[in-house]
Amino acid sequence: MESLKIGPANRHTDGVRGCKFFSGAHGPVKPNNANSLNLFLMDCPICFSETFDIAIPNDDSLKQMSLNALSCLYQRYVTSLQSLCKSQRRYGNVNYGGFEMCMDQNEAQKNGCLIYIFNHDMSELFDKQMETTLNCAIRKSNTDITFSEKYLNGEMVILNIESKHFSTLETFVDMLKSSRVQQIVLEIHFDSNVESKSNHEKILSILRKLYAIQYRIYWFDRNFAFVKNGRSTCFTINFHLIEDVASHSLNSEISFEEVRFAEVLLNNAPSHQILCKQMLRLGAITDGGWDVCHDELYRIRSPCIVYSFGINNDFSFDDDVERTFGCDVFAFDPSMSAKTHRRSKNVMFYAIGIGNENKNITVGAGNWEIKTLDTIRRELGHTNRQIDILKMDIESNEKQSLPQMIKSGVLNKVRQLCIEFHDYHDVGTFLELYNIGFRIFWTHLNPATPYYVNNRSYSHGWEIYFVNINLKRT
């Protein structure tokens, strides 16, 4: 299939004039074929706006596209970001029943705000947090999802919708043209493998209308509670109204000064420091999968090297990296019963752990070999090679390992860094990562380990994703 290039000929602020779409380029994507998802999504015939947002074409062009192309475009669009929110907070459950909110200065829900919720049984915790921390009044309608002008007086509107609600949703979006609702949360239940072509066209048309009236995506969530055959059938999409689009452009970045102290860091850790507009999920949609930045400046290209620490018998990420990008993947975990072996042509497993020094330790009845990252790189002959992705889920051992990596300088050769932090919020380490070029582009609270304190929602496990701005492509 001929692919589209990201270039001046394919960039348009009002849609996708001049872009070439393909009516039958994709074969059928079977619901049980989860392994092909990334290759399918990367092969999308998509175009971009002047600010490199994924663009949705006009209705006539949508009608000319095949069902598979529409499905691909939908999934790429709802898992992309269009704007940087500098301060995000989770309210409600860490798992299903809670949402992220943008708390930037001009967008935060003000004391005494009004929130409308349609067709969604939010958690009691969400209601309590809104009422006690923000003094927000909540208006709910679980049976009637019709709209009137009064709903446009709220600062935030949250909607839980299915394809049967699309016409009503379109009416609401048309009404937004004359209102100033600051934030909108859409929870869209839409199984792209079974929905009709006309429903794909309708939801894409509605999303395009939201973009046209300056609503930009600052957050999305693949809801773990609605994963079917390895794919999410429900996406939550957070929009905020952008008055000055230029201030939320491609080069948006937040200074570490805004997250300098420990208390502030704790409050703002689930926030972004740099805008990555395109992301791909590698591995499982649920626990075991990881996100990578797929923007042109940081995109993974073969030949590439990936280090993956912490496997726990789940190679879905490692296998997907090999399948999607053709990278050489080096997987490490001393806690498994498996011995060092070659898993596949490009995936090698080592029964070795990572630490702040080279040593052997006794864990239970076993003996674990631990090495530093710089030692591992040297022994693998990668001293002069960049590591395209360094992934670590090492159950709190990042507290010792990460400072040593920073001190040794080994991270200077890492392009993307993916870590699950376990109750580790050392502001000094985060500042040092910032100073050597790492910027947070995505975070995810682990829904399996939530905790709640002082009317705030946290998790003992925070996946935090970085790109190294010193290694971006020029």
Q: Are residues 302 and 197 in the same domain?
A: no
Q: Are residues 433 and 451 in the same domain?
A: yes
Q: Are residues 261 and 322 in the same domain?
A: yes
In a domain, 3, yes or no: no
Which pair of structure tokens corresponds to residue 441? 């582009």
Average pLDDT on 261-265 reads 49
Which pair of structure tokens corresponds to residue 206? 């509605």
Domain end residue (candidates: 247, 267, 296):
247
In a domain, 223, yes or no: yes
Confidence of residue 297 (pLDDT cuts 50, 70, 90): very high
The Cα–Cα gap between 31 and 33 comes to: 6
Q: Are residues 264 and 187 in the same domain?
A: no
Domain end residue (candidates: 214, 230, 247):
247
Confidence of residue 252 (pLDDT cuts 50, 70, 90): low
**What H or E segment, with its residue span, contains residue 174?**
helix 166-176
Q: What percent of the chain has pLDDT over 90?
A: 49
In a domain, 270, yes or no: yes
The Cα–Cα gap between 276 and 298 comes to: 9
Which spans in 16-143 are helix H? Answer: 37-42, 59-64, 67-78, 124-133
Q: Are residues 184 and 40 in the same domain?
A: no
Give the chain's domain count. Answer: 3
Q: Are residues 115 and 63 in the same domain?
A: no
By C-alpha distance, which of 205, 201, 203 is closest to 190? 203
Q: Are residues 351 and 433 in the same domain?
A: yes
Q: Are residues 28 and 103 in the same domain?
A: no
Q: Are residues 39 and 115 in the same domain?
A: no
Q: Are residues 172 and 269 in the same domain?
A: no
Alpha carbon dihedral 114, 119, 125, 129, in 10-degree steps, equals -10
Which pair of structure tokens corresponds to residue 385? 């090679």
Strands of 7-150, DSSP E: 47-48, 54-55, 88-92, 98-102, 114-118, 137-141
In a domain, 2, yes or no: no
CATH number for the domain that contains residue 419: 3.40.50
pLDDT digits (tens, 9 = 90+) for 360-396: 998 887 889 999 999 999 999 999 999 999 999 988 7
Mean pLDDT for all residues in the chain: 82
Q: Of residues 255 and 184, which shows the higher confidence score? A: 184
Please name the residue that has the structure tokens 């009404």.
175
Q: What does the pLDDT read at residue 170?
A: 93
Q: What does the pLDDT read at residue 220?
A: 95
Domain end residue (candidates: 58, 78, 98):
78
Q: Are residues 345 and 453 in the same domain?
A: yes
In a domain, 403, yes or no: yes
Q: Are residues 136 and 213 in the same domain?
A: yes
Give me the domain span that covers residue 94.
88-247
3-state secondary structure of 202: helix
Which pair of structure tokens corresponds to residue 416? 């993307």
| pTM of the predicted model as reported, rounded to 2 decimal places | 0.84
Q: Going by C-beta distance under 8 Å and a sequence separation of 6 or more, which residues neighbour residue 6? A: 48, 52, 296
Please name the residue that has the structure tokens 């074969």.
27
pLDDT digits (tens, 9 = 90+) for 35-86: 446 666 766 667 777 778 899 999 999 999 999 889 989 999 999 999 999 8
The Cα–Cα gap between 211 and 45 comes to: 19
